């Protein structure tokens, strides 16, 4: 369990300095983390393809002497990213795009890609194809997106995503909130953001943003934050303060974690993470199977490994901590990974692209090396789903 006593570092806070001093080059990184000449050359090749950004605050959580440090692996590039295996769009986001930056996959939810930018670039990002790289997929016209949602009365909620929406200025955050919170049939808006984790002061020290959140999150229509803690080391006095600030603004906070090899693929780490999240008031929402994303495959575990780790972790978690679903954001829907017996793995469509499949259970023959639904021959032959 996290205690502020086991967090050794304190930070003198300067928000402008945090932006200005964000680590973006290998030369800057080297001032904090020793690299060999070979590593330097390799990492340069990686950041030429997928940029790096690490806030000074998040960097301070890394132990520079430990190459296995989990925070390091989350944001510092590695040679594994030079592999070209995997797909840049394994969940078929392009098929759900109705206009640039607006996806409509599940009846009730509109997903908006607000920006390509983030405060820190996660090495496991599933939107690596454009995040930090290109503007081509982000929303161009808020008014047109609002009109789409207004016309589609089946949409009850809007998810602002990206990139990280809180990497935009407050004026832009307000434009998005105003556009979608003001639609009668939208019950709530979510902001997907890693800011509480990588730059929590952006929330706890920005009175203007707090005023904005308080104004838009009302008792009958809440703004929700879905954040992204992946390791207990990310729960610090600063991130706790950001969560506390969100609650003071009337904004409930939820968390989704990605199961990542070498970072949180351990029952004790996962149990500590989820129990600690509950203790600071963050609702565990999803544990996602890492998608087969190009340049991210080295983070992926097999489904059987994931189930084994989770089974053990569950034994160490309180009831509130294990409310999350272990799921895969598959092209066909959000597929819950339920468990296995001697012969089969069992799944359920938590949400389905085809509404007729929603809630449907299915099973496949066990296959120890499978990491994704498409790896099972049964799936490939169209026998399930």
Which one of 73, 105, 194, 233 is in contact with ligand SF4 (CB under 6 A)?
194
165 binds ligand SF4 (CB under 6 A): no
Which residue, 192 or 232, has its beta carbon nearer to ligand SF4? 192
Q: Whole-number minimum distance, CB 260 to ligand SF4, in Å?
A: 11
User: Which 342-361 residues touch ligand SF4, going by CB under 6 A?
Assistant: none
To ligand SF4, the closest distance from the beta carbon of 320 in angstroms equals: 25
By the rule CB under 6 A, 162 interacts with ligand SF4: yes
In the complex with ligand SF4, the residue whose CB is nearer, 132 or 385, is 132
166 binds ligand SF4 (CB under 6 A): no
- Are 137 and 100 in contact by the 8 Å Cβ rule? The answer is yes
Q: Are 61 and 11 in contact (CB under 8 A)?
A: no
DSSP codes joined into one string, 234-271: G--HHHHHHHHHHHHTT--EEEEEEE-TTTT-SHHHHH
Axis crossing angle, helix 303-315 with helix 267-279, rounded to the nearest 10: 60
Residue closer to ligand SF4, measured from CB, 129 or 353: 129
- Which residue's CB is nearer to ligand SF4, number 265 or number 312? 265
Among 69, 81, 137, 164, binds ligand SF4 (CB under 6 A): 164
List strands edge to edge, sheet with 223-227: 97-99, 102-103, 109-113, 157-161, 188-192, 223-227, 253-259, 283-289, 325-330, 333-340, 344-352, 361-365
Alpha carbons 273 and 267: distance in angstroms, whole number: 10
CA distances from 378 to 201, 225, 336, 352, 360 (A): 48, 37, 17, 18, 16
Question: With binding defined as CB under 6 A, does residue 321 bind ligand SF4?
Answer: no
Cβ at position 248, least distance to ligand SF4 in Å:
24
The CA–CA distances, whole Å, from 50 to 27, 47, 67, 92 equal 16, 5, 21, 20
Do 358 and 351 form a contact (C-beta atoms < 8 A)? yes
Q: Rule CB under 6 A: say whether 196 interacts with ligand SF4.
A: no
Give min distance, CB of 286 to ligand SF4, in A.
13
Residues 221-240 contacting ligand SF4, CB under 6 A: none
Q: Residue 129 CB, nearest distance to ligand SF4 (Å)?
A: 11
Residue with token string 């029952």: 267
Q: Which is nearer to ligand SF4, 125 or 186 (CB)?
A: 125
How far apart CA 61 and CA 131 sit, in angstroms, is 23
The β-bridge relationship of strands 344-352 and 333-340 is antiparallel
Q: Is 202 a binder of ligand SF4 (CB under 6 A)?
A: no
Q: Is 295 in the site for ligand SF4 (CB under 6 A)?
A: no
CB of 156 to ligand SF4, least distance (A): 24
Print the binding letters for residues 94-133 with ligand SF4: x by CB under 6 A, - otherwise: ------------------------x--xx--x-x---x--
Nearer to ligand SF4 by Cβ, of 122 and 263: the residue is 122
Q: Give the C-alpha separation, 167 to 199, whole Å.
A: 10
Strand, helix or coil for residue 88: coil
Query: To the nearest whole angstrom, how small is the minimum distance from the Cβ of residue 135 to ligand SF4?
Result: 14
Cis peptide bond upstream of 163, omega within 30 = yes
Interface residues toward ligand SF4, by CB under 6 A? 118, 121-122, 125, 127, 131, 162-164, 194
């Amino acid at each position: 369990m996290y205690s502020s006593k086991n967090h050794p570092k304190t930070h003198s806070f300067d928000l402008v300095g945090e932006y200005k001093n964000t680590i973006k080059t290998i030369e800057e990184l080297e001032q904090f983390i020793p690299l060999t000449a070979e590593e330097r050359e390799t990492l340069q090749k990686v950041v030429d393809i997928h940029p790096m950004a690490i806030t000074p605050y998040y960097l301070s959580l890394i132990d520079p002497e430990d190459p296995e440090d989990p925070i390091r692996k989350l944001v510092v590039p590695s040679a594994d990213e030079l592999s070209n295996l995997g797909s840049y769009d394994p969940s078929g986001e392009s098929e759900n795009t109705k206009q640039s930056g607006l996806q409509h996959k599940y009846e009730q939810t509109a997903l908006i890609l607000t920006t390509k930018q983030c405060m820190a670039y996660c090495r496991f990002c599933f939107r690596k194809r454009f995040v930090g790289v290109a503007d081509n997929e982000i929303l161009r016209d808020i008014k047109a997106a609002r009109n789409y949602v207004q016309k589609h009365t089946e949409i009850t909620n809007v998810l602002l995503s990206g990139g990280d929406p809180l990497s935009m200025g407050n004026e832009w955050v307000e434009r998005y909130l105003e556009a979608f919170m003001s639609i009668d049939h939208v019950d709530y808006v979510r902001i997907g953001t890693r800011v509480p984790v990588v730059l929590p002061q952006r929330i706890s020290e920005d009175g203007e943003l707090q005023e904005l959140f308080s104004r838009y999150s009302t008792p009958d229509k809440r703004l929700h934050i879905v954040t992204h803690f992946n390791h207990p080391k990310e729960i610090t006095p600063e991130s706790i303060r950001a969560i506390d600030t969100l609650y003071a603004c009337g904004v409930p906070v939820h968390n989704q974690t990605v199961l990542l090899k070498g970072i949180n693929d351990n029952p004790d780490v996962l149990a500590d993470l989820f129990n600690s999240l509950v203790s600071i008031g963050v609702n565990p929402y999803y544990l996602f199977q890492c998608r087969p994303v190009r340049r991210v495959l080295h983070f992926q575990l097999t489904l059987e490994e994931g189930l084994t780790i989770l089974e053990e972790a569950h034994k160490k978690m309180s009831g509130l901590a294990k409310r999350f679903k272990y799921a895969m954001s598959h092209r066909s829907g959000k597929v819950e990974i339920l468990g296995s017996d001697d012969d089969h793995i069992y799944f359920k469509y938590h949400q389905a692209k085809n509404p007729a499949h929603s809630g449907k259970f299915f099973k496949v023959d066990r296959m120890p090396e499978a990491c994704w639904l498409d790896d099972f021959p049964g799936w490939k032959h169209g026998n399930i789903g």
